[in-house]
Amino acid sequence: MKLKIYSAYILLCILWGTTWLAIKVSLNEGMPPFLGAGLRFFIAGLIFWVIFFIRREKLPKSRKAIGLYLQFAILNFSIAYAITYWATQFVYSNVSSIIWAGFPLTIAVIAHFMLPEEPITRKKYISIFIGTIGAVLVLTQGKAFGGDNVFLGIGALMISVLIASVPNVNLKKHVKEVNTIQLNAVGQTGGGLILILLSILFEPGQSMVWSQNNLLAITYLTIPGSVITWLIYFWLFSHLTITQVSYVAFFPPIVAITIGWIFLGEVLSPVAIIGAILIIGGALIINFPEKSIPSE
């Protein structure tokens, strides 16, 4: 089982790491940000509904289940991603992924108050500190690689990370209320519809550019980037702690920095490499037994 969990974890990190390149390519090709995110999640949600009906499942309608549907549809799949897509227009793809490396920090803090069984321990403090220092090092190298609104983009991305943290912690608290197919079907379809509505309201006159690169980017973001990744992500909630799951945010920046450097010319400096090593180190420490961290 551990091999299956670790394999799924690694695949998730690789796929999510490559989605940042696809998002940037799509935006560069002229995709309106809200429309791009909306199409991605609405189509992915429809695929989950097909799986749902094939499996002949019943949709849980308890108060807690409805709360999860709404939180993920509104906070995670619509608002957080609307901000992320919009902000990524102003910064490099690797900068977006690096900001999202702060996800475990907000998750750990929120979980400390919402989940009594997952307090912030000394091990978590150490791992979060190391990972955050690494993220800061990489960020100092990447923040200059954007346009005039780079700091606006960075600030918006930080807000999106905070918003996305709440439903993820709540899912761990009520993980038995819904399964991954049900949550993705409702959450992604609902989030996609909200984003398309936002596009109608705030992106009038912005035409969709149906270039080959754009179509490939949307397809990649929809199938591997949304269907496969979120299947794995929600499945991991049943096998790992909320903090361990949240550390999936630390690995994709390494992938994003590498492919951004190769395909988009986003230069990877020696300081960024050091930061990447620290990020990986912090993410690994969270899986060490508590006794491996010396006590005073």
Q: What is the pLDDT of residue 293?
A: 41
Q: What is the pLDDT of residue 121?
A: 84
Domain locations along the chain: 2-292
> Which one, of 251, 76, 85, lies nearest residue 170 by Cα?
76
10-residue mean pLDDT series, the chain (296 residues) = 86 94 94 96 97 94 95 97 95 87 82 85 83 79 67 89 93 88 96 97 86 94 96 87 76 87 84 80 65 42
Q: Per-residue b/e over 85-122, b at no fewer than 16 CB within 10 Å?
A: bbbbbbbbbbbbbbbbbbbbbbbbbbbbeebeebeeee
How many whole angstroms separate alpha carbon 159 and alpha carbon 77?
Answer: 14
How many whole angstroms separate alpha carbon 92 and alpha carbon 105?
Answer: 22
Owner of token pair 């490559």: 18
Owner of token pair 């945010």: 249
Residue 96 CA to chain centroid, in angstroms? 10
In this structure, what token pair is assigned to residue 97?
A: 């992924």
Q: What is the pLDDT of residue 296?
A: 39
Tell me if 128 sits within 8 A of 105, measured CB to CB: yes
Q: What is the pLDDT of residue 74?
A: 97
Q: What is the pLDDT of residue 295?
A: 38
Q: What is the pLDDT of residue 284?
A: 67
Q: What is the pLDDT of residue 292?
A: 42
| Strand partners for 70 | none
Measured on CA atoms in the order 209, 215, 219, 225, is the torsion positive or negative?
negative
Q: What is the pLDDT of residue 145?
A: 62
